Amino acid sequence: MLPYFLGCPAWNEPAWRAHLYSQSGAGHALQRYARVFNTVEGNTTFYAVPSVETVRRWAQHMPAHFRFTAKLPRSLSHAPSLYGQQALLERFLELLAPLGGRVHPLWLQLPASFAPARLGELVALLDALQGRAVAVEVRHPLFFARGEEERALNRLLRDRQVERICLDARALFSCTLQSPAVRHAQAKKPRLPVRPTAFSDSPQLRFIGHPQLPANDAFLQPWLDKVADWITAGLTPHVYLHTPDNQLAPLLAWRFHRQLQARLPGLSDLPWPAASEQYALL
């Protein structure tokens, strides 16, 4: 078992058949993905609430050790107000109940329009989620300005042991390629300062990478040090690796893990025997 959680923003990507799935044998895409990675960023629940049958199928194929960071639906997180969302929240949590402890943590991804003046709404929602592991991503510029607004947010999260998700898109924005995938990703992802935090025992990192994998190394180095330090301190970080169209996300995750092994001798290999062969072609 790995001492941290490593994954990608999805488990079902057709482009991965050339490397990830081809090494994982037969079975459902989730089963094959989970033979290599032990977590996934739960974007699917952000864009559409799954059916009862879909969640039951996930529960059937998702190993007990696996962690699904289910995002609260955007119909909740992007609503004009977080007040009055109790019924929607309860229905969502009831829907995910078959997954049990594999839902860890819940993610709340707030829009850039969620400003410091609305922190009271966040308090009410977190109170409704008391007793559950939760991580929050913010995008309003004032939450990154090192002023009282950011300090108030950090106090709120730290006091409740709610993690502040760190989104690091510097590698993506360093890319000067003009491919449609890069342009789309740069238009969609926020360009914000990096805020490494550990307000709970499970710090959360989303790293949005460059499509040329070696170009990510300089941006990964500080995170490799930070993740190694967190693990050494007894924390269990979650690390999610993206690329512009995510076709190379598993290979970027493999690259991260290989470099982390240099900092943590004895860290086991990912169960992906041909990864190095595929990686050498990039």
Residue pair 7/253 in contact by the 8 Å Cβ criterion: yes
Residue pair 121/83 in contact by the 8 Å Cβ criterion: yes
- pTM value is 0.95
Mean pLDDT of 68-75: 97
Mean pLDDT across the chain? 94
Point out the least confidently predicted range of 49-63, 149-163, 262-276.
262-276
Mean pLDDT of 91-99: 98
CATH code linked to domain 5-279: 3.20.20.410
Residue 105, preceding bond cis, omega within 30 degrees? yes
User: 109-129, pLDDT tens digit by residue?
Assistant: 999 999 999 999 999 999 999
Mean pLDDT of 66-94: 97
**Which segments within the chain are labelled E, that is strand?**
5-8, 39-42, 67-70, 106-109, 134-137, 163-164, 166-168, 204-208, 238-242
Which percentage of the chain shows pLDDT scores above 70?
Answer: 94
Domain ranges of the chain: 5-279
Closest CA to 91 of 136, 130, 52: 52
Strands 67-70 and 163-164: unpaired
User: 196-240, pLDDT tens digit by residue?
Assistant: 999 999 999 999 999 999 999 999 999 999 999 999 999 999 999
Q: How far apart are CA 168 and CA 190, in angstroms?
A: 9
Residue pair 251/259 in contact by the 8 Å Cβ criterion: no
Residue pair 76/89 in contact by the 8 Å Cβ criterion: yes
Q: How far apart are CA 54 and CA 64, in angstroms?
A: 17
Point out the least confidently predicted range of 26-40, 86-100, 120-134, 256-270.
26-40
What letter would DSSP give residue 35? T
Q: How confident is the model at residue 280 (pLDDT cuts 50, 70, 90)?
A: very low
Closest CA to 69 of 43, 92, 93: 43
